[in-house]
Structure 1
Amino acid sequence: MIRLIFFVLYFFLSFAIYAESNVTEECNQEWICLIQTKDEDGITLSIRNYNTNPQVTNSVLLNATLVNFKTDISFPYYVVVKGPSPVYITKFVLDDKTKNAFHSFSFLFRPGDWDSVHDDSVSYLLPFARGIRTKVVQGYNGSVTHFGTFAHSIDFGLPVGTPVHAARKGYVTATESKYSEGGFRKELLSKANFIIIQHEDGTLGNYAHLMKNGVVVKVGDSVEAGQLIGYSGNTGYTQGPHLHFEVHKPNRQLDVTTIPTSFKTQYSERDTLKEYFMYWHPRPGIDPIKAEILEEDIQICKLSPKRERVECGKTAFQLGENFLVSLEFVRPGNQKIEVDISIEGKSFEPMKLDWVAEKNLAFEARYVSIPNNPKLVGRWKARVRVNGEEKKILFFDVKP
């Protein structure tokens, strides 16, 4: 997850009386600028956004240390800065013009508006291209990282390089694309590539763990819902390739508050996504589907040396190799799976696999090691049944 908190401390020493009006401006990188106008009575403080785009909104928490100054506001002081115009904060008046005076300012800020109210009538698009189907590998209140302020976050299991599309129109307010490393280590928490898009209601969409150089928009761009914005990856604090998506707004502690959202899916126009369910963009005339599993999601795959499934749809193996019978259910459940494996034209007793699907797995699979026995060369057949109903027959060749 991305934590965009910024801190700047400014010190100024003032002696006696200001002889003439004098304006200074100090900016934090490309985010917030403090404007001080000094005169014989004291200092007038204003804040503006560095970026002059009228859509830019930042929430700021301001603190001050004062010696020989008085003001009519108390600190910490909260303010939302919208657009390019400076926001007046206060006048710091010299208490005794014959004495030295000291002041320092510090502030924290986060993009977005902490007073924003999410438009719950919005139905978000799935943040990937049409034709892609993927599972939610961690949903709301997920036990790995989706708790506390990040409780309403969603992780989509997408391979590295999958196109990422905007789920809602808005304005690009921040991006990062320089990182290349990913892993489940705390030092990588701040090293994920991301895109932050501000919405019309002041909330923000966060698309995180993108691939290195996987951002195709820039700060200041206006994007439409469904527009290509980048490519998924495996950077930052992650257990594997996926796209992290959340809608949030800043809170008064300058952390984020994630917001529950509804999506347009194959099930409905307003769907709440669930962990381990598979989702895709709705297809008119086809969806919603009623099956628990689609025929195309029953496959023979190769088992890699790292014991990962690869080359799904493979139709030829060699003696001594391993293969997987893989099933991806649209909806998780306790389905009973039975697989009978035989060799055409040979009288070997069919190999039988049977198990009950687990609800907390992204996919179901059982692997088989092909013995290095020349008698097993031939055309193999795997008959797959789910809950007693035949779903698919798979064929593949085993060669010497």
Structure 2
Amino acid sequence: MQRWIPLLSLAFGAAVAAAPAARAAPVWVTAWTASPAPDRKDGPPDAPVQFAAQTVRQDIRVGSRGDALRLRISNELGAAPLHIEDVRVRLKDGKVAALPVTVDGRSAIDVPVGAALLSDPVRLPVSALQEISVSAYFPQPTRPAVRRTELRVVDGRQADVPGSIRLSYQQNVFSAVQVQRDERPQVIVALGDSITEGATARRGTFNQWPERLAQRLQQACPDRFVVLNQGISGNKLLDHGRSHSALSRLDRDVIAVAGADQVILFEGINDIRHGGGTHPVPGRNAADMLLGYQQVATRLHAHGIRAWLGTLTPFGGSERYEPVSATTRASINQWARSGRTGFDGIIDFDATLRDPKLPESLPADITRDHLHPNDEGYRRMADAIDLGMLGCAATR
């Protein structure tokens, strides 16, 4: 009887080998982000509430194709419980009717202070770089705690907010869109301040440098990369300001939420400039900054994430430019170019943007305030990034 065992084993093995390979389970991929950020108190003193009995529409460009999506609703940095109702999502082109978004089947959603909730999946196929429209009704006075984005706001409970409503730049409650797809792409996170957020890009465009990088990657290596923008205006590498520092938010905004494979860090200008006011506070020195940069690289590498460092761009002529911070910037950039940083490489944004005749300044035609690039400046930043370095060998 034993002599049949090998024959049976061989027959079983042949049957297994002949069987079709099991299809991999779908995965959830973060396809868009906006970092949590404390309430900026942007409203006037006599009207401090941001939303009250209003419907808010946000148009979002998702960075990946997918068969379904779900929203991440954040109250992680909120000061009071968050309540929203009638959340809906549709393709921006309006060809598909808006679909309800629920959490555990509930259309009235309550998010505790310090928490974030993922919505139930919504069956809405999307293509890479396609726009969706997300709307929500805020029945109660609400101060959202996610970084500012472009919104359209109308009074009352509205089933649809027209695209003709003027865009405003305000905080909202959605911190991520996830899509479901068959295989996982490479996820690249741009971590930085207002220059990464793209605060000076023309409203209603996707001219921020991370968004333009996403376009380049999608054209060269279709559906293989996602670029997420985790910039926040006023952000610093080391210290809290309008938002938590990059060191503080690294785990939440990059490692946990984004599921990053690579990070492009462009932080530090807000750290090294002297503070404004009657008695300006000196900015951080180069030694402090290098410690912070190396900590970011070390922590990312511990999670198997590649780390790229952007050199600091010029800000000569801006309101808080002075010789000490200029010297600090030069020291940081010299160190970055030394190849001994602990990062996997650098992106020389400084060399790309600086005025050849005035190296401490941006050319006048790419800035309005001598600090932030305009759309053309953001294009140059995106074009300065070597796609091959990121792993994109162009297929066409």
Q: Say whether the fold is shared (TM-score over 0.5).
A: no
Higher helix share: 2
> TM (normalized to structure 1)?
0.25
Higher strand share: 1
**Structure having the higher Rg:** 1
Greater RCO, 1 or 2 (C-alpha within 8 Å, sep 6+): 2
